[in-house]
Structure 1
């Protein structure tokens, strides 16, 4: 335990200051703020009264470092401002705070070195775990964290051999294809980013395979990033090469929004001329301007599974990798034709 800042003097209130005000020893202050420690009730009351008067708070970071564990959990991510990523960060932060952890959000660039630098920083601060929302940790870094006893948990990544939580992308593609088939579609397309992440690649590949198994070819268009502009560019490409599709599966909602606006801008009616399905169910999907039919991932469920994995990993560091599949659910709105 260390200091709480004394704003009137520009410094932290020390445990020693609490001890002097309460008329007890420094060790008594330490015991007063240690659950289960032996301390006389009268002494405990004096210490808490002095601490309240001074505005003292226990320095959990210092305490954790002394115990070789800081209670910090790193959330390593790129594009933290994208809607679904922001939802995931919020849900994970809440779940970790309820577990008495301190979430630390580290926004990274696109390279493996960016990921490695972030992880090294978290090791230096004795972070209890690192959760990767994007980026793939290099094998050397995985080994380094294992030697230091720090769990790594991946969210919606395709790598094996590490603890992970990921939504059921293939089942989501299955649900999307079945909904479009029931709407009478016959000309299918998939919209994806130019360099898809592992989970986006699974959605694309799964939809194409499921369509092929039913005797249909799904045209795949990749353009830009997995954002609104990328969706617009993909829609332009779709309409500029061959017959227009009557059913489009977008690998996330942001690309679906861009595609929808482009289709409508050139006079196509949604869903009368073309049905569109997204993935994620971000809040904007329910807005009246979109009313997007989409696959819902549950950020709260994913966050709870991450915390569960963390508890299990800390309890048994040598157990095999833990992998959890989170189901997705089709949310029907107004961008898919009524069932035929």
Structure 2
């Protein structure tokens, strides 16, 4: 006879995972529930002997304070929304990671909200943004639509934007125009005269600023300057723009790319399809200094945006806004540094 469990054809019940509660700690420590709460509340009064018993019981049970629930009760969620479109791409990925680290150091809970690119995805992301009662919102460069900013502002959430201009928001921006003028000047001083800047049809504020500043500076120095664009500000955008440029009768001898991903696509087309030498036939400068820029395949000369610096500036602005809600919008500008590698040496 089989004395084991009877199999009645039903799948075994899945046991619900339960976190250790403050009540369980109180029972094990032999104290009240409020004593446990006071022990884990900074500045609250609790006897030393009681504190010791509570901490010993908490350690034995593996208890941790539910900071999220405590924040909701105090109307301070400590959640900070990081809003981005395609956050996995290029510099945005490194900036999102740096923001998460800076916010965790501060004691905040970063929540990454990918806006998506369809109407359904946008609506779901907006619902997430407001439904979680974020303490503040940080919106990255790229193309999160203005509706996200309007929604945050209507709900009274402090707002910091990175790499774009928005009214009534605190800003962190790279020195796009300064870098673009520096690139055009460096090309002209090295004797290059057929200059091109590659942007994208996405038309983000940072891309537009880099394009216009480069063209203006080049023309003021007596060089011709052309704007080329791929579909988006990514590797394929650089491939598309490169194929168009290098199939033309007159080819550029120097190209400033609005970001490094565009530069990588352009450089691969130049060398592998157009059989051009870099920098002898065409010099290339990028923007961002993502880690791949230093790879032996590229050795890209580029302007460095430091994601750690940008992230900390954004968090500083957020804290300033939380402390002084009625202060006028603040503005931080971070000037990129030109990192010299093999694709162009001034």
TM range (shorter): over 0.9
1:292 aligned partner: 300
Change (3 A) 1:306 1:148: same
1:279 aligns to 2:290 (yes or no): no
| Range moving further from structure 2, 218-227 or 45-54 | 218-227
Per-residue CA distance 1:181-226 (angstroms, 9 max, x = gap): 2221000001111222111111011101111111222111111111
Task: Find 1:164's aligned residue among 163, 171, 183.
Answer: 171
1:304 aligned partner: 312
- Name the SS for the 2:172 alignment partner: strand
Q: TM-score by structure 2 length? A: 0.91
Flag the structure with larger Rg. 2
1:317 aligns to 2:325 (yes or no): yes
1:228 aligns to 2:235 (yes or no): yes
Per-residue CA distance 1:270-316 (angstroms, 9 max, x = gap): 11111000000000100111100001001011011011101110011
Q: What is the 5 A alignment of 1:178-193?
A: 178-193=185-200
Per-residue CA distance 1:72-115 (angstroms, 9 max, x = gap): 11111122221311110111011000000011111122368855
Q: What is the 5 A alignment of 1:44-83?
A: 44-83=51-90
Aligned residues: 331
Q: Distance in 1 between matches of 2:158 and 2:121?
A: 19
Task: Find 1:90's aligned residue among 90, 97, 105.
Answer: 97
Q: Distance in 2 between matches of 1:240 and 1:9?
A: 63
Change (3 A) 1:102 1:121: same
1:14 aligned partner: 21
Q: Distance in 1 between matches of 2:322 and 2:136?
A: 9
Could you say what the CA RMSD is over the residues aligned between the two structures, in angstroms? 1.9
Given that 1:110 and 1:135 are in contact with CA atoms closer than 8 Å, whether structure 2 keeps it comes out as no
Unaligned 5+ segments in structure 2 are 1-14
- Name the SS for the 2:333 alignment partner: strand
- Name the SS for the 2:19 alignment partner: strand
1:173 aligns to 2:180 (yes or no): yes
Any runs of at least 4 consecutive aligned residues in structure 1 with deviations exceeding 4 A, and if so which? 111-117, 141-144
Q: Distance in 1 between matches of 2:165 and 2:249?
A: 33
Unaligned 5+ segments in structure 1 are 1-7
Given that 2:188 and 2:221 are in contact with CA atoms closer than 8 Å, whether structure 1 keeps it comes out as no
- Name the SS for the 1:13 alignment partner: coil
Task: Find 1:26's aligned residue among 18, 33, 38.
Answer: 33
Given that 1:245 and 1:274 are in contact with CA atoms closer than 8 Å, whether structure 2 keeps it comes out as yes
